[in-house]
Chain A
Amino acid sequence: DAGVIQSPRHEVTEMGQEVTLRCKPISGHNSLFWYRQTMMRGLELLIYFNNNVPIDDSGMPEDRFSAKMPNASFSTLKIQPSEPRDSAVYFCASSFQGRATEAFFGQGTRLTVV
């Protein structure tokens, strides 16, 4: 398996623009997590899905952030409108419920909002 695949790897956008980050989890995994990493705050959970259903989005910082998982093999995280303080690395991770629940991470998307 290719692992968790995120795109794009890097994104530079202007303040106010819409940004969409994409994630393909490992095939067969049924839990998906979106994290944000900054120097100041470390890794923070934004939202997670079990069986394509959002379970907890309390970590989503504002209404400008939204996430969807239309099927088991694809998820998006959208920021609209983007702001400079959204600049961070965004990670997607997946795991399989019922086993050791070991989580696997993608390579991340480095977002810069100017």
Chain B
Amino acid sequence: KQEVTQIPAALSVPEGENLVLNCSFTDSAIYNLQWFRQDPGKGLTSLLLIQSSQREQTSGRLNASLDKSSGRSTLYIAASQPGDSATYLCAVTGSGNTPLVFGKGTRLSVIA
């Protein structure tokens, strides 16, 4: 059974810092990996999708990498801003349209 772990559970950084959020998964036979952002009381917003054949994806100040063989992904946020404060969730899917399995998230606070 696939399990997804995110470390740390919570992180607080001063504005302007670059930071890395970590995600690991137990079964390397994934189809894709998706990073989401969740603001308090809101739904999940998709940030980046990495297919199993890819090594990384970039969107603005966000860069996600994938090392399938070692079961790891990182989300790099450059020049963090207070507006980046949210919970970041990592999720993987095993094939085409099987459901996403989620980690418990990292709660990020960026202090002005």
- Known: A101-B32, A102-B46. Contact between A42 and B100, CB under 8 A? no
Task: Report how far A97 CA is from B96 CA in the complex, Å.
Answer: 6
User: Are the C-beta atoms of B46 and A104 separated by less than 8 Å?
Assistant: yes
A25 in contact (CB, < 8 A): no
Interface of B is mostly: strand
Chain A 28-60 interface residues, beta-carbon cutoff 8 Å to B = 30-31, 33, 42-43, 45, 48, 50, 56
For this complex, into which size category does the number of interface residues on chain B fall?
20 to 34
Pairwise interchain contact A97-B97, C-beta atoms closer than 8 A? yes
Distance in Å: Cβ of B10 to nearest Cβ of chain A: 13
Q: Which residues of A contact B45 (CB under 8 A)?
A: 105
B80 within 8 A of partner (CB): no
Q: How far is the CA of A42 from the CA of B46 in the complex (A)?
A: 17
Q: Please, which residues of chain B bring their CB within 8 A of the CB of A91?
A: 43-44
Q: How far is the CA of A108 from the CA of B40 in the complex (A)?
A: 12
Of the candidates A42, A56, A95, which one forms a contact with B103 in the assembled complex, judged by CB atoms under 8 Å apart?
A: A42
- Residue among B31, B36, B43 making CB contact with A101, cutoff 8 Å: B31
* Chain A contact residues: helix, strand, loop or mixed: strand
Are A106 and B31 in contact, CB atoms less than 8 angstroms apart?
Answer: no
Any B CB within 8 A of the CB of A12: no
What distance in Å separates the Cβ of A89 from its nearest Cβ neighbour in chain B? 9
Q: How far is the CA of A93 from the CA of B89 in the complex (A)?
A: 15
Give, as a whole number of angstroms, the nearest-CB distance from A49 to chain B.
10
B: which residues have CB within 8 A of A?
A: 31-32, 34, 36, 41-46, 49, 51, 89, 91, 93, 96-97, 99-105
A residues sitting closer than 8 Å to B (CB atoms) are 30-31, 33, 42-43, 45, 48, 50, 56, 91, 93, 95, 97-98, 100-108, 110
